[in-house]
């Protein structure tokens, strides 16, 4: 089938303001949007710039807006879109550096703010710390995060104020708060119990829809809110 | 141009690089440089598990893991290195758990383990549960956990910095030259020790599990500095990639009881000529070859170039009953659709996304896919790079992970041993590089340390031919997949060598569209293609010269292993006029070569 790929373009060395370029090409319904971007870059215009690596939805490099929705270009097939006009634009709320490439540093700053690492200062046993399958299951969903930013940059609260930590940071806090082996929950809940913490979430569900890993993000944020309100982790 | 000074520089931020960075930074001023954000690294795509004889599910022993790895390597692995890795395995898996890695759990709360190809109880010959797993995203968990620990320990990162060159002074490491992708500016990192943890080079082949980023940068750079590459002819084709796309479907599917099926509906791995004992859980080289032969004999599904991987509960239960497979408590092994969903969630997601197939309802179309480099930069067990057949150490240069060749995988790697290799030897490289740095001074930087890198980029940027890099890349991948793939012949490989040389010539006449400095990804891709072409040439020449079949190197014209002539590691040097080869002996401890039967 013939498709038209319309790409957001901005080169800070040349352009005063962004524009769009359209590329016509033959595509299979099962082609990934990333395949189309590669085709356009490889055979029509080598200046098109975007990040990508694994090409199958696990590395988190190629989050972008595809026909208005935050998605991974490597996990979106032409047939999923149901149309042959495809528009790709950078994710919103982060500074645009070139074409589809945005500055991810503010996103990673928010990630680092929630102490996203295991905390347990007790001496470790000779073998593994024990954890029941049920306790392991408690935080399974939030271990899936690949830090692609699709959720955070779909969130109107984040667009309004990028001091809001955003869904991804809260997901990564959740992953440790509800890990029975971890002892840092109080510290993390204090960070999230802040003007720019969980209460900026107004349960709009954009994040949950955007997540390419299908993490129930709004639910995870709700669980963190409840833990703050009740002081209990259950 | 900017200049920085660190005692230890780690290049690459996958499992090996992060482990090296964590350990080196404990005692030395260290920075980790990566062309990707660390969590984008390809370690995150590993699925099935990390091998360690914990014995959590049933009896297991480190010596069995060692022997299985030696046998899996088709006796080309260095046995001292394999012993070291397998002995370190339980301790390092516990260490990962103590870092918070969320392994799946047994009913008793211990780390869960599953069977994997080539891992057996050496007394009964039956597959053993040795792969420690976190659902089917073990690599993702390792990568995330190690990055989290780096954040915790304030490890210094330079993200989206592409390494271009190593600086060598007086025969010792003096640092690296990099380009900052966001600005196009060159940065020199003056260092006492350099650790390459730059991953594999699967992008040489058309159908691959590998990420776009897997372009063998560390190997290409060291080759250009006169350091040989070891055993490059041994590249693993994973049996089960998604048809046409190559996306990895973990061996864990077969570990959970999935089977390969041909067009006649036969579970062909059970045939006498393939692997009548462990069947679908034979070593990867054996399974990929069996698949190739089935397809060659017209038994691909509908006569096409794929087979079915079937993990539907009714299929799993049928063959588990036939095999007499039991649970650790002795009851018959059975699974439900929910068990499959909970143990292989990502596989199910991939199949639904890319194939529209739900593996619980329908079988998955799969074909062998280029997966893993057994060869690479030669090192010893300390992670030190060794540059000749006498294993002479090059001071200050280290390598770890897929980019290195210790050699623990020999001519064929067992599943779960790559994640193990990363953490064991990443740690070794980090510890030993830091110790080396403590006892040595900085080498003086040359007058213009970035000169060669700058010239290299200028040649690419200013080249005014008509060739597109995408065309050259596509032709390279096709010829390598057709002729330096699962099965090889003298004529095919000769053609591949000629073709690669032609492509290298044409590569001198490329034309890039992007003349900018900010995120010039086209320039980066061109530089990476140059690496792939050099590596393809070294791989094809090493393969053409080895006239035997061993592990992943299978030849139609020399179908037997020839220990008398070829029980030796290949060393390949890249020179102006081609590839120079030499060989070094394999290290044996106590395992005599035997015929390999599964």
From the list B11, B59, B1, B8, the residue with the least C-alpha distance to B404 is B11
Q: Which two structure tokens, joined as six digits, stand for B38?
A: 């660390």
Give me the total of CB pairs closer than 8 Å, taking one residue from chain A and one from chain B. Answer: 158
Enter the ipTM.
0.98
Contacts of B107 in chain A (CB under 8 A): 133
Contacts of B149 in chain A (CB under 8 A): 117-118
Which stretch of DSSP H or E encloses residue B335? none
User: What pLDDT, on the 0 to 100 scale, is given for residue A162?
Assistant: 84
User: What pLDDT, on the 0 to 100 scale, is given for residue B467?
Assistant: 97
Contacts of B354 in chain A (CB under 8 A): 30, 56, 77
Query: Is A47 within 8 Å of B514 when comparing Cβ atoms?
Result: yes
Decide if A185 touches B, using CB distance below 8 A: no
Query: Is A139 within 8 Å of B102 when comparing Cβ atoms?
Result: yes
Average the pLDDT over A170-179 and give the result: 98
Decide if A77 touches B, using CB distance below 8 A: yes
User: What pLDDT, on the 0 to 100 scale, is given for residue B212?
Assistant: 98
Q: Is the dihedral of CA A165, A166, A169, A172 positive or negative?
A: positive
A90–chain B nearest CA distance, Å: 15
> Which domains can be identified in chain B, with CATH numbers?
2-45+140-235+371-438 (3.50.50.60), 51-137 (no CATH), 243-368 (3.90.700.10), 451-563 (1.20.58.100)
Decide if B595 touches A, using CB distance below 8 A: no
Q: How confident is the model at residue A233 (pLDDT cuts 50, 70, 90)?
A: confident
Number of H helices, E strands in chain A: 9, 7
Residues of chain B with pLDDT under 70: none
> Residue A234: is its pLDDT beyond 90?
no
Decide if B512 touches A, using CB distance below 8 A: yes
Kindly identify which residue of chain A lies nearest to residue B349, measuring between CA atoms.
A213
> Percent of chain A scored above 90 by pLDDT?
96
Scanning B38-113, the segments in alpha helix (DSSP H) are 62-72, 79-98
φ/ψ (deg, to 5) at B311: -125, 25
User: What pLDDT, on the 0 to 100 scale, is given for residue B328?
Assistant: 86
Query: Is A53 within 8 Å of B518 when comparing Cβ atoms?
Result: no
- The residues of B carrying an active-site annotation are 284
Query: Is B513 within 8 Å of A45 when comparing Cβ atoms?
Result: yes
> Which domains can be identified in chain A, with CATH numbers?
2-102 (3.10.20.30), 105-230 (1.10.1060.10)
A111–chain B nearest CA distance, Å: 10
Residues B454-483 have pLDDT tens digits of 999 999 999 999 999 999 999 999 999 999
Query: Is B105 within 8 Å of A136 when comparing Cβ atoms?
Result: yes
Residues B58-102 have pLDDT tens digits of 999 999 999 999 999 999 999 999 999 999 999 999 999 999 999
Contact in structure between B473 and B507 (CB atoms under 8 Å): no
Query: Is B42 within 8 Å of A120 when comparing Cβ atoms?
Result: no
Decide if B40 touches A, using CB distance below 8 A: yes
Decide if A182 touches B, using CB distance below 8 A: yes
Chain Cα centroid distance, residue B280: 21
From the list B296, B98, B513, B533, the residue with the least C-alpha distance to A42 is B513
User: What pLDDT, on the 0 to 100 scale, is given for residue B558?
Assistant: 97
Decide if A146 touches B, using CB distance below 8 A: yes
Distances B42 to A59, B52, B366, B530 between C-alpha atoms, Å: 7, 21, 21, 21
């Amino acid at each position: 089938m013939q498709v038209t790929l319309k790409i957001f373009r901005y080169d800070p060395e040349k352009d005063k303001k962004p524009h769009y370029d359209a590329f016509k090409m033959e595509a299979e319904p099962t082609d990934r949007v990333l395949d189309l971007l590669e085709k356009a870059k490889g055979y029509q215009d080598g200046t098109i710039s975007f990040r990508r690596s694994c090409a199958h939805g696990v590395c988190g490099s190629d989050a972008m807006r595809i026909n208005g929705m935050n998605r991974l270009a490597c996990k979106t097939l032409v047939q999923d879109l149901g149309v042959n006009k495809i528009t790709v634009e950078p994710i919103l709320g982060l500074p645009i550096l070139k074409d589809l490439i945005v500055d991810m540093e503010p996103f990673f700053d928010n990630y680092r703010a929630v102490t996203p690492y295991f905390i347990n200062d007790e001496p470790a046993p000779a073998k593994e710390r024990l954890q029941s399958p049920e306790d392991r299951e408690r935080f399974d969903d939030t271990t899936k995060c690949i830090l692609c930013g699709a959720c955070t940059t779909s969130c109107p609260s984040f667009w309004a104020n990028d001091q809001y930590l955003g869904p991804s940071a809260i997901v990564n806090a959740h992953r440790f708060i509800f890990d029975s082996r971890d002892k840092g929950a109080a510290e993390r809940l204090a960070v999230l119990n802040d003007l720019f913490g969980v209460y900026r979430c107004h349960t709009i569900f954009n994040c949950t829809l955007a997540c390419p890993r299908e993490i129930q993000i709004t639910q995870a944020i709700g669980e963190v809110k409840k833990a703050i309100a009740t002081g209990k982790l259950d | 141009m900017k200049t920085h000074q660190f005692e230890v520089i780690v290049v690459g931020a996958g499992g090996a690089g992060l482990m090296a960075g964590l350990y080196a930074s404990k005692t030395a001023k260290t920075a980790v440089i990566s062309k990707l954000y660390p969590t984008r690294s390809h370690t995150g795509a590993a699925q099935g598990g990390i091998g360690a004889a914990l014995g959590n599910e049933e009896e297991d022993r480190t010596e069995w893991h060692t022997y299985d790895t030696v046998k899996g390597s088709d006796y080309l692995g260095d046995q001292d290195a394999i012993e070291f890795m397998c002995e370190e395995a339980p301790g390092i898996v516990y260490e990962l758990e103590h870092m918070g890695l969320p392994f799946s759990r047994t009913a008793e709360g211990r780390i869960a383990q599953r069977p994997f190809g080539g891992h057996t109880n050496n007394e009964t010959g039956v597959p053993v549960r040795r792969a420690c797993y976190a659902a089917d995203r073990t690599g993702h968990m390792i990568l995330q956990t190690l990055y989290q620990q780096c954040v915790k320990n304030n490890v210094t990162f330079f993200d989206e910095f592409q390494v271009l060159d190593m600086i060598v002074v007086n025969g010792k490491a003096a640092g690296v030259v990099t380009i900052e992708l966001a600005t196009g500016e060159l940065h020199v990192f003056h260092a006492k020790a350099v650790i390459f943890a730059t991953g594999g080079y699967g992008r040489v082949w058309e159908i691959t599990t590998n990420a776009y980023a897997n372009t063998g940068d560390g190997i290409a750079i060291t080759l250009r500095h006169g350091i040989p590459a070891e055993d490059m002819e041994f590249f693993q084709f994973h049996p089960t990639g998604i048809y046409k796309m190559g996306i990895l479907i973990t061996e864990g599917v077969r570990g959970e009881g999935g089977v390969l099926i041909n067009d006649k509906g036969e579970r062909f791995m059970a045939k006498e000529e393939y692997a009548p004992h462990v069947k679908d859980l034979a070593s990867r080289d054996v399974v990929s070859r069996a698949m190739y032969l089935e397809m060659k004999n017209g038994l691909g599904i509908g006569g096409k170039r794929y087979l079915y991987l079937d993990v539907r509960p009714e299929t799993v239960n049928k063959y588990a009953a036939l095999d007499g497979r039991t649970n650790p408590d002795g009851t018959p092994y059975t699974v439900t659709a929910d068990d499959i969903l909970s143990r292989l969630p990502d596989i199910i997601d991939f199949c639904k996304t890319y194939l529209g197939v739900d593996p619980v309802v329908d079988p998955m179309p799969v074909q062998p896919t280029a997966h893993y480099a057994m060869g690479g930069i030669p090192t010893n067990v300390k992670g030190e790079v060794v540059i000749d057949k006498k294993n002479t150490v090059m001071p200050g240069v280290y390598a770890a992970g897929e980019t290195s060749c210790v050699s623990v995988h020999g001519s064929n790697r067992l599943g779960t041993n790559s994640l193990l290799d990363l953490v064991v030897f990443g740690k070794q490289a980090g510890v030993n590089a830091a110790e080396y740095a403590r006892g040595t001074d900085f080498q003086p930087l040359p007058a213009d340390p970035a000169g060669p890198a700058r010239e290299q980029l200028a040649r690419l940027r200013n080249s005014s031919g008509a060739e597109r890099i995408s065309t050259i890349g596509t032709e390279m991948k096709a010829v390598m997949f057709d002729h330096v793939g699962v099965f090889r012949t003298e004529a095919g490989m000769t053609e591949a060598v000629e073709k690669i040389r032609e492509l290298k010539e044409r590569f001198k006449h490329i034309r890039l569209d992007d003349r900018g400095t900010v995120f010039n990804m086209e320039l980066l891709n061109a530089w990476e293609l140059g690496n792939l072409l050099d590596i393809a040439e070294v791989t094809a020449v090493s393969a053409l010269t080895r006239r035997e079949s061993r592990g992943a190197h299978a030849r139609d014209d020399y179908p037997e292993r020839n220990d008398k002539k070829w029980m030796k590691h290949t060393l390949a040097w890249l020179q102006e006029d081609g590839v120079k080869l030499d060989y070094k002996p394999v290290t044996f401890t106590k395992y005599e070569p035997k015929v390999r039967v599964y």
